[in-house]
Structure 1
Amino acid sequence: MTHTEIDGVVATTETMSMPMLSSYGHFTAMQVRGGRARGIGLHLARLDGATRELYGQGLDKALVRERMRHALASAGVSDASLRVYVHWPHGDERVTLTVTVREPFEEAPRPVRLLSVPYVRDFPHIKHLGSFGQSRALTLASRAGYDEALLVAPDGTVTEGAVTNAAFWDGERVVWPDAPCLLGTVQAMLEPLLPSVRRRVTLAGLGGYRAAFVTNSRGISPVVGIDAVGYDVDTALMASVTSAHDSVDWDVI
């Protein structure tokens, strides 16, 4: 099931033609439960900041929330995987908001294995639509039997996962890679709640960490391997990370 609305109107084949053919845009993704989502302020700030950078204008945050509520109501659901896309179709006075509503992601967290792939996203701080490189990295990882790709710069600096943020545990602190990457909303929630530090992480130095995990809007998963480097699941660490995430309030959309 996918319910799609463009500017508050159910999408048709004709109105979908512009979003489908344009890669100059950005989006945010979230899990909704009971008409609520964690970190709504972070999602709205992400959309507003990218809209200002790409199109030179701000975004009406109240309107975004209204469009999300309308799409959920029209789909007849209160639990969903929801995305908001922002385009500026023809240099009009205002941007176009596309909201998609799909089934909620319910899969329980499971240990994952990552394959390092040499790739750095263009304009990585923006959650933009130019995802060919990420998709290719994911394909390479999947074909090799891995769950996710770990993106690595030419100098060996670890940046982020293809669709996740990666974090490493040195025994005392959660180390978030200090590199050009997208600040995920889950990372933004967790970073101030955990003993965190941002530090350069290198592919060659991965064996020096005791554990690792990845985060995105779908949740948090322990990492049990990156290439030939293996990690044990640190149950105490994962309990702390999960508890911190669960402590974040669900905001009414």
Structure 2
Amino acid sequence: MTYIEINGSPATADTLRLPALTSYGHFTAMQIRDARVRGLDLHLERLRSATRELFDGDLDDERVRADIRHALDAADVRDASLRVYVYWPEGDERATLMVTVRPPQTMPTGPKSVMPVPFVRELPHIKHLGGFGQNHYLTAAHRAGHDEALLTDPQGVVAEGAITNIAFWDGTSVIWPDAPSLLGITMALLEPRLPSARRPVALADLPSYRSAFLTNSQGFAPVRRIDKVEYTVDEELMGRVSAAYEAVEWDAI
């Protein structure tokens, strides 16, 4: 079950009309444990910067935190998968915030199969609504027996997963594709804690890497295959990724 609040009050048929009828907005997704979250400052900055760009307005951090705390208390949970959506109807003096609370989730740790697709998101640096293309190709990947879709541009340059970031291991560094994409919170937390570099990655380059892994708000998982390129799960690397991830402090909401 999903519990929903809008502007700090339980959602009603009337207040749900806005998110039901508009796809212009943005959001952030987080995993809450014991009313804490990894990378709270990064989530708040994501919401602030997207609000400025999409609506030319300001979003108060404490209002966001208060709405999250209120929704968790009202749902009577301390562990959750939680999203904060931001809308700003024309003429309103402040943004509309919708908070959704669902049961907590963790990315299944089994190695993933990934299908390349010819698609890149519009305004990829924003976690915006209306992602028909990425949902379409993710569904196509699932129907073809894969776990995730890999978004690539017309020249075959890798950008990101449909709902993940991807990283490659060359034996020395974790390579994050240098292409227009969303900076995922888990990626942002792991990148400075691992021997990382950014550079363009093309589909033709994939056989040159030893292994790969995916990250998103639910965690991380190794990749076993991208199209016809098979990867061996590097247990040492995944141990380093796990240690870096577990070392991130949980921030009180």
Would the TM-score normalized by the shorter structure come out above 0.5? Answer: yes
Corresponding residue SS for 1:122: coil
SS in 2 for 1:213: strand
State the superposition RMSD in angstroms.
Answer: 0.7
Question: Contact 2:34 / 2:79 at 8 angstroms: preserved in 1?
Answer: yes
Q: What SS does the aligned partner of 2:239 have?
A: helix
Paired residue secondary structure (1:84)? strand
Q: How do 1:201-220 and structure 2 match up within 5 A?
A: 201-220=201-220
Decide whether the 8 Å contact of 2:107 with 2:219 is kept in 1. no
Amino acid at match of 1:201: V
SS at match of 1:83: strand
Give aligned pairs, total: 253
8 Å contact 2:80–2:105 — kept in the other structure?
Answer: yes
CA contact (8 A) 2:177 2:198 kept: yes
Q: Amino acid of the residue matched to residue 240 of structure 1?
A: R
Deviation at 1:222, TM superposition (A): 0.1
SS in 2 for 1:166: strand
Distance 1:85 1:173, change over 3 A: same
- Say whether the 8 Å CA contact 2:115–2:227 is kept in structure 1: yes
Deviation at 1:110, TM superposition (A): 1.5
- Is structure 2 residue 73 aligned with structure 1 residue 73? yes
2:15 is aligned with 1:15:
yes
1:117 is matched with 117
Question: Paired residue for 2:191?
Answer: 191
Equivalent residues in 2 for 1:1-253 (5 A)? Answer: 1-106=1-106, 108-253=108-253
Q: 1:186 to 1:107 in 2, by over 3 A?
A: closer
Deviation at 1:224, TM superposition (A): 0.2
What secondary structure sits across from 1:204 in the alignment? helix
Counterparts of 1:240 and 1:227 in 2: how far apart (Å)? 26
Cα distance in 2 for residues equivalent to 1:122 and 1:87: 18
Look up the equivalent residue of 1:96 and give its one-letter code: T
Instruction: Note the alpha carbon deviations across 1:188-212, whole angstroms, 9 max, x for none.
Output: 0000000000000001110100000
Does the 8 Å CA contact 2:116/2:149 hold for their aligned counterparts?
yes
How far the C-alpha of 1:214 sits from its partner, in A, is: 0.3
C-alpha deviation, 1:107, in angstroms: 5.3
CA distance 1:237–1:46, shift in 2 (3 Å):
same
- TM-score after normalising by structure 2: 0.99
Q: Which residue identity does 2:165 align to in structure 1? A: N
Which secondary structure does the structure 1 equivalent of 2:182 belong to?
coil
Give the counterpart letter for 1:23 in structure 2: S
Residues 107 and 197 (structure 1), Cα distance of their counterparts in 2 relative to 1, 3 Å cut:
closer
Distance 1:208 1:246 in 2: 29
Give ranges in structure 1 of 5+ residues lacking alignment: none
Amino acid at match of 1:60: D
TM value normalised by structure 1: 0.99
1:185 corresponds to which letter in structure 2? I
CA-to-partner distance for each residue in 1:92-114, whole Å, 9 max, x for gaps? 11000000000001454221000
Alpha-carbon distance in structure 1 between the residues aligned to 2:136 and 2:21:
19
Q: Which amino acid aligns with 1:14?
A: D
Distance 1:75 1:98 in 2: 14
Match of 1:58, SS state, is coil
Evaluate the alpha carbon distance shift between residue 108 and residue 135 of structure 1 in structure 2; reply closer, same or farther with a 3 A threshold: closer
Q: Aligned letter for 1:19? A: P
SS of corresponding position for 1:123: coil
Q: How far did residue 245 of structure 1 move?
A: 0.6
